[in-house]
Structure 1
Amino acid sequence: MDRLIRGARWVFAFGAGLSMALVFIIIFVNSLRRYAVGRSVPWGEELPIYLTIYGVMFGLALAYLGDNHIRFTVVSDMLPKRVRHWFFVAADAVGVATGIALAYAGHVFALRRGDVASSGLKSTADALAQSTGIEALTWLGKVGPYQYAIAFGGALLAIAAALKLMQRLSGRAEEV
């Protein structure tokens, strides 16, 4: 169980860190290019926004799994330790349900509006598809892959909450 949670923390932290590193690199290169050449790359404005959203979703799961998320403790601090434990168990179960609902809602949203062209990425995705011959790459020029960040974040929340729930039920979680 501890190995699974450590692995999940590593994946969540790596995903959040990688997303933020890519955002920094893209913005840095785009800024240098804008001032050195006079033009920025067409996807340099929009892609960092989407990468940031994915990074936040990874960070959300990492924070939940580590019990480092924002929480209002006015009620829970007044509860006896045993009752507080079951209160947090119930909150984790609600977290699993919320993550599943968010994943489903994000999926439905992406299906309904996923074919809308992403103005900053469309031309690059079309050129990539044309140069590789892989027609499926044109989907990167749509907003669908980036709207799936909501579904992805919901799935990560459900996983983190389920792991935290199992940890609490096994008695291995520290009650904050």
Structure 2
Amino acid sequence: MKPLYKNFLALATGSSLFVVFAVVLTSSLMRYLFNAPLQWSEEVAKYGMIYGTMFGTVLCYLDDIHIKFGLLENGIPAPVKRLLNLLLDVIALGTGAVLAWSGYQFVLKRGGIDAPGTGLPMSVFQSAMVVGGICLFIAALFQLQSHFSRQQSKEEV
């Protein structure tokens, strides 16, 4: 299930990046070739980057390629490292829950506003916080599950 989730996140991250690329390219071509800029292009590109950041952050977390202190990580004993990784995953779980909840509250309070460029409700774009929080929460559950499955396999040996 975890590889399928990682593939989904990679597709979502790549799709967000493609949307940003396509919108910026189209807007540039329209502006310089036809002297008719797309009014909504900057807005869509900005929110595409935000969604891409949410998906990409979770993907980096799952692949363990996020920013970390290598000197600290390499200089500690393995049991302490396992404990710190477990703590990191518990913190990520809590952060995902808080991000999703605060994003939900933000959408409730400000989601009724329409975006000036596209005319779409801002809730479409502001929901990136909710989606990112839920994705991080799910990823942390996968990571925590892998901690406990590794412990069980060591105990069985």
TM-score, reference length from structure 1 = 0.81
How far apart are the structure 2 equivalents of 1:111 and 1:74? 43
Is there any run of 5+ residues in structure 2 with no aligned partner, and where? 152-157
Match of 2:126 in 1: 147
Q: Which position in structure 1 is the counterpart of 2:44?
A: 47
RMSD between aligned alpha carbons?
1.5
Match of 1:56 in 2: 53
Answer yes or no: is 1:167 the counterpart of 2:141: no
Amino acid at match of 1:59: G
After superposition, the C-alpha distances for 1:87-143 in whole angstroms (9 at most, x for unaligned) are 211210111111011100001011101112211111xxxxxxxxxxxxxxxxxx121
- The aligned amino acid for 1:164 is Q
Q: How does 1:73-88 map to 2 (within 5 A)?
A: 73-88=70-85
Counterpart among 20, 24, 39 of residue 23 in structure 1: 20
Deviations 1:31-63, CA, capped at 9 Å, x for gaps: 111112111222212101101100111101100
Match of residue 157 from structure 1: 136
Structure number with the bigger relative contact order (C-alpha 8 A, sep ≥ 6) is 1
For structure 1, the 5+ residue unaligned runs are 123-140
Identity %: 32
Aligned counterpart, 2:155: none
User: Higher helix proportion, which one?
Assistant: 2
Query: Which deviates further from its counterpart, 71-80 or 160-169?
Result: 71-80
The answer to whether the 8 Å contact 1:89/1:165 transfers is yes
CA contact (8 A) 1:30 1:41 kept: yes
DSSP-derived class of the 1:71 partner: coil
Structure 1 residue 168: Cα displacement: 2.2
How many Å apart are 1:79 and its aligned residue? 2.6
Query: Which ranges of 4 or more aligned residues in structure 1 deviate by more than 6 Å?
Result: none
In 1, Cα distance between the equivalents of 2:138 and 2:32?
A: 43
1:160 is aligned with what amino acid?
A
SS of residue matched to 1:79: coil
Indicate the residue corresponding to 1:128 in structure 2. Answer: none
Q: How many aligned positions are there? A: 151
3-state SS of paired residue (1:116): coil
Matches within 5 A, 1:30-41: 30-41=27-38
Which amino acid is 1:55 matched to? G
Contact 1:96/1:158 (<8 A) preserved: yes
| CA distance in 2: counterparts of 1:104 and 1:38, whole angstroms | 43
